[in-house]
Copies of this chain bind each other. A is one copy, B any other.
């Protein structure tokens, strides 16, 4: 198990929150494969912390849908079924156009500048090679959607999107075909451009297509027997 503690962080003063974030990052960054067992004792040793804190972190992650806790068996990095994946994307299609409209109400030039800046970074990462750059790119791609959510000023929507984006990352990690996802960069730009022009209808339309594209790039045919999967991955 390789849950890298953030550099320049003292491994003491570690709290539940810290562990939760570290594991979540590791999952979303695909450093922890779906199905991986997260033993309470092991994780505790990693962070020099008792099982009590680890349990808290795992419970929280379970609530976010990133981890499954099975009674008397332990916690595992979630292994979303194709059906779950469909539900996640269906929910995103339902929510994200609304987020766009809601965000647009509050957005001024500075907000657009922030978005553009994120897109620049995203584009830069696309050019680079290597696993690290790839992870950063995927993360940046999710951050785009999260930034839009944060611009609604609505904490509830923001939390929902947090969960949806994190779980989407897992799904993409599982069923993603290739680096095709990177073509999403252009779509992100188009969405921002439409918003800047005030053409919200088009922005929503593009957003829906964007989500469709992400979902279409998945290959979700495999192993329907949902529990067998874990055995193989483990």
How far does the Cβ of A74 sit from chain B's closest Cβ, in whole Å? 16
**Number of copies of this kind of chain in the complex:** 2
Closest to A96 in B: B94
Which B residues touch A48, using CB under 8 A? none
How far does the Cβ of A186 sit from chain B's closest Cβ, in whole Å? 27
How far does the Cβ of A170 sit from chain B's closest Cβ, in whole Å? 13
How far does the Cβ of A62 sit from chain B's closest Cβ, in whole Å? 9
How far does the alpha carbon of A98 sit from the alpha carbon of B94 in the complex, in Å?
6
How far does the alpha carbon of A56 sit from the alpha carbon of B54 in the complex, in Å?
12
Flag if A155 contacts B102 (CB, 8 Å). no
Overall SS of chain A's interface: helix
Interface size on A, residues (CB 8 A): 23
Q: Is A117 an interface residue (CB 8 A)?
A: no
How far does the alpha carbon of A136 sit from the alpha carbon of B91 in the complex, in Å?
30
Flag if B87 contacts A154 (CB, 8 Å). yes
Using CB atoms and an 8 Å cutoff, list the residues of chain A in contact with chain B. 52, 55-56, 59-60, 63, 65, 84, 87-88, 90-91, 94-95, 98-99, 102, 154-157, 160, 164
